[in-house]
Amino acid sequence: MLTTNGPIGVFDSGYGGLTILNKFRELLPQYDYIYLGDNARTPYGTRSFEVVYDFTLQAVRKLFELGCPLVILACNTASAKALRSIQQNDLPYIDPTRRVLGVIRPTVECIGELTKSRHIGLLATAGTVRSESYPLEIKKLYPDIQVTGVPCPLWVPLVENNEFNSPGADYFVKKYIDLLLDKDPDIDTIILGCTHYPLLIEKIKQFTPPHIRLIAQGEYVGNSLKDYLSRHPEMKSRLTVNRSCEFLTTESVEKFKESAAIFLHQEVHVRSIVLE
Ligand code: DGL
Residues 187 and 249 in one domain: no
pLDDT at residue 3 in the model: 67
In a domain, 167, yes or no: yes
What's the CA-to-centroid distance between 189 and ligand 1, angstroms? 21
pLDDT at residue 262 in the model: 79
Cβ neighbours of residue 111 closer than 8 Å, sequence gap 6 or more: 120, 138, 141, 142, 145, 189, 191, 215
Domain boundary among 175, 191, 217: 217
What's the CA-to-centroid distance between 123 and ligand 1, angstroms? 12
Residue 131: other Cβ atoms inside 10 A: 21
- Residue type for position 151: P
pLDDT, tens digit, for every residue of 250-266? 999 999 998 888 788 77
Chain CA centroid to CA 163, Å: 20
pLDDT, tens digit, for every residue of 181-234? 999 999 999 999 999 999 999 999 999 999 999 999 999 999 999 999 999 999
In a domain, 55, yes or no: yes
List, as own/partner pairs, every contact residues 161-169 make where C-beta atoms lie below 8 angstroms and the sequence separation is at least 24, other chains included. Answer: 162/259, 162/262, 164/199, 164/200, 164/203, 165/202, 165/203, 169/200, 169/203
CA 202, CA 218: separation in Å to the nearest integer?
16
Contact present, 56 and 78 (Cβ < 8 Å)? yes
Do the strands 70-73 and 8-12 form a parallel or antiparallel pair, or are they unpaired? parallel
pLDDT at residue 267 in the model: 79
pLDDT, tens digit, for every residue of 7-16? 999 999 999 9
Helix (H) / strand (E) element for 72: namely: strand 70-73
- Which residue's C-alpha comes closest to atom 8 of ligand 1? 45
In a domain, 1, yes or no: no
Instruction: List residues near ligand 1 (CB under 6 A).
Output: 12-14, 16, 42-45, 75-77, 125, 128, 156, 194-196
What's the CA-to-centroid distance between 59 and ligand 1, angstroms? 15
Domain boundary among 188, 217, 246: 217
Number of domains in the chain: 2
Contact present, 9 and 72 (Cβ < 8 Å)? yes
Q: Is 110 a catalytic residue?
A: no
- Which residue's C-alpha comes closest to atom 2 of ligand 1? 75
CATH number where 180 lies: 3.40.50.1860
Provide the domain limits for residue 157.
105-217
Name the pTM for this structure: 0.94
Average pLDDT over residues 237-247: 97
Share of the chain above pLDDT 90, in %: 88
**Ligand 1 pocket, mutate which of 11, 195, 262 (most atoms under 8 A from CB):** 195
